[in-house]
A = this chain, B = another copy of it.
């Protein structure tokens, strides 16, 4: 790790309109403590490359345990604040970076959430977002573990501007992106754990990855915000019932252009400079927020309309 003076010397100063984000894409091992160590070293690396807001992948402290339903795995959960924030808050303060960390939250016995905590650059915990949309599909048995979030869609005023975070399955819901963007966030972060079933990859893998990327690029376009998706890599689980996490963490600008993308299978850190002026320019050119028919959207709170 370079001393902070060396780091500062390497990195150009940014204006308040600009902010640099760091996406940490890693492989997760079986030992939660080792995963935390890995994450902290990657956060240091991202900071050394100039990142001001660092986002970790979903549930970075463990392998993706939702591949199976096993009540013993609730032992992986932790309180918030708790061991992870005890480690990450001082790290954020030391490095002067914002950290977004996705954790398995134990709120009470029998009440667990999939939660992202937002730690400001001075080490204070700004708050948390509890994943609102919970999937349940073969090898993604999240409804067994996570109570749907009850905090709604929210923004956080960090040292480096207002941001919002959503989590994984939320990325398929335009309502979530819209509500988060309407809070005035400059960027939506999506800590993610998505991968291929090996048996499906040949036939559907490319379409699945493309749909995932397209849906999120569209959130950037519809809302004129940056979007950053942070996924893990690596194969987890038994060969016949495991998941190949597809990585490909990326950043889309407010017009949906992919400005950086990681590989499908390597640990990587993406550091990307974002600029509020691009948001302003994009929204002036394509002023979608101007023309929303808020008088006519009320029925969207229905399950179905037929």
Contacts and interface: CB of A to CB of B under 8 A. Distances in A.
A207 interface: yes
Interface in A263-306: 286-289, 291-306
Contact of A169 (B291, B296, B302): B291
A123 interface: no
A286 to B, nearest CB: 7
> Contact residue range for chain A?
35 or more
Interface in A150-169: 152-153, 155, 162, 169
B306 A155 contact: yes
A90 interface: no
A303 B297 contact: no
A257 interface: yes
* Shortest 9 CB-CB contacts between residues of A and residues of B: A218-B218, A184-B306, A174-B174, A182-B305, A175-B297, A294-B301, A183-B305, A133-B291, A172-B288
A182 B299 contact: yes
Interface stretch (A46-54, A109-117, A209-217, A237-245): A209-217
A179 interface: yes
Contacts of A210: 256-257
A219 B172 CA distance: 10
Interface string A191-227: 0000000000000000100110011011101100000
Contacts of A174: 174-175, 177-178, 218, 222
Interface string A53-93: 00000000000000000000000000000000000000000
Contacts of A133: 291-293
Contacts of A155: 306
A179 B137 CA distance: 25
A135 interface: yes
A19 interface: no
Nearest to A200: B285
A148 interface: yes
A114 to B, nearest CB: 13
A255 interface: yes
B179 A297 contact: yes
Contacts of A306: 155, 162, 182-184
Given A256-B211, A306-B183, A296 B152 contact: yes
Contacts of A302: 182, 294
Nearest to A174: B174
Given A169-B291, A175-B292, A293-B133, A215 B221 contact: yes
A132 interface: yes
Nearest to A162: B306
Nearest to A218: B218
Contact of A300 (B132, B179, B184, B217): B179
